[in-house]
Structure 1
Amino acid sequence: MLTNLFSKSRPIGYVVIGLMLLITYLIHLVNDLKWLQSPAVIIEKSFLFVVVAFSVLLIQFITVKNYLAVNNLYSLFLYACFLILFPTFYDDAQLIIANLLVLLALRRVISLQTLNEPKIKIFDASLWIFVATLFESWTILYFVMIYLAIIWYVNQDYRNWIIPLIALLTVTILFYTYSLFYNINLVEFWTDKYDIGFNFSYFDNIYQNIALSFLATIAVLFTVYQLTNLKSIATNQVTLYKNIVLCFVIGAAIYIITPEKSNGLLVFTFFPLSIIGGNFIANTPNKWVKEAVLATILGVSLLLFLLKL
């Protein structure tokens, strides 16, 4: 049933995924109804869901545009399941915005493989990442992907190496101007932004721990699958999938080193995992295995979501 529903990119698949996210988002909000007392907060919560929905659609755009999947919705479905598995993500507005900005940057980095307008893409990606650091400081690690992409695709032109610095200067000037208007103390703003912490005792309940363990298991299985199948990927796509694996490593690193941890920080691993997992499902010849994987991930995600309420 799930295999048939998401094996093709059809409107019904998008509707089902959209309803999954909307219903679970509303159920999560019902836990604390104080937000209903303020029209401003209602608008904020509505806006944040729109941002999340746009992020999900952006993932499908990146996937299709760069031939990371062939006309299916498996990656989109997995991404939605991961969001349901970790609903604390919805409580952090800055994290939601930072995630969208990172996805916009990754869209440009990944599309560098086409070699069309590389300078514009490098500038755009750098700009989005620098803006993302204003919301989640350790997203600065994604600059590793930008410079590796320059090495892999467009290292012949020395100007490509300077472009990220121009983006840095642009964001610095704009943020400095913004800080003058709103009386933001830049020293206080950046103080402790790049602290490192390895305290993992932040769980509010055992179900958050189980959810993390479940995602870690999935991550190991999917990543091992991807690494062992690099040789079977077309030569012109190998670097692209190395980028996806690197994206997962950076996302995991952000979660590991951020001092104020939450399961919501794992959102930076969802995009690469959904791409790798979507390919695993699409390339599995046995339909019942596909169905079992999809049903297990959806079932566990929904069960843990309800238990954490």
Structure 2
Amino acid sequence: MISSIFEKTKPVNFIILLVFLFLFYWSVQFYLFDFEISEVEIMPSIGILAILLFSVFVVDFIVKRNKLTGTNSYAILFFTLLFVVFPETLGDSKAILTSFFLLLTMRRLLSIKSLKNIKLKIFDAGLW
């Protein structure tokens, strides 16, 4: 059943994974880390969640642009499942920010294979 859903790239796959990641993030925050709702704590958590959800789109962009897999959504499925396997990473905002910037770096480094503006791409990847 999972293979029939994620075999093709469809917008519903993104919706399923983003809703799942959203619900899983907040359940980990409340049950694993005893998160309390206050204005001071909720705003950074919403920002980190937004970066985490945007990372799913960055992973999909990297995979599609560089043709790393076929026309399926398995890459974003496994990216989301990595957070399920290691839920402690959702409590570390620095790790989420680091993974986001590493994804941006990998995006630029994988674009080097086009052999255009190599020095600029290496500089841009190092800047991230």
Which band: TM-score by shorter chain?
over 0.9
Q: Which residue of 2 aligns with 1:77?
A: 77
TM-score, normalising length: structure 2:
0.93
> Aligned partners of 2:94 and 2:3: how far apart in 1?
35
The structure having more radius of gyration, on CA atoms, is 1
> What number of residue pairs does the alignment pair up?
126
Q: Which residue of 1 aligns with 2:101?
A: 101
After TM superposition, what 4+ stretches of structure 1 lie above 4 angstroms from structure 2? none
Question: Helix, strand or coil for the counterpart of 1:121?
Answer: helix
TM-score, normalising length: structure 1:
0.40
> Aligned partners of 1:19 and 1:102: how far apart in 2?
24
Q: Which residue of 2 aligns with 1:26?
A: 26
Question: Helix, strand or coil for the counterpart of 1:67?
Answer: coil
Pairwise CA distance, 1:33: 3.2
Q: Which residue of 2 aligns with 1:205?
A: none
> Aligned partners of 1:100 and 1:22: how far apart in 2?
16
Q: Which residue of 2 aligns with 1:44?
A: 44
Question: In the TM superposition, what whole-angstrom CA distance separates every residue of 1:92-135 from its partner, at most 9, and x where no partner exists?
Answer: 1111111111111111111100112212211011111xxxxxxx
Q: Which residue of 2 aligns with 1:110?
A: 110
One-letter amino acid of the structure 2 residue matched with residue 8 of structure 1: K
Q: Which runs of 5+ in 1 are unaligned?
A: 129-309
> Aligned partners of 2:18 and 2:122: how far apart in 1?
32
> Aligned partners of 2:95 and 2:105: how far apart in 1?
15
Pairwise CA distance, 1:19: 1.4
Pairwise CA RMSD of aligned residues? 1.0
Q: Which runs of 5+ in 2 are unaligned?
A: none
Pairwise CA distance, 1:12: 0.9
> Aligned partners of 2:84 and 2:19: how far apart in 1?
12
Between the two proteins, what is the percent identity of the paired residues? 28
One-letter amino acid of the structure 2 residue matched with residue 22 of structure 1: F
> Aligned partners of 1:5 and 1:59: how far apart in 2?
18
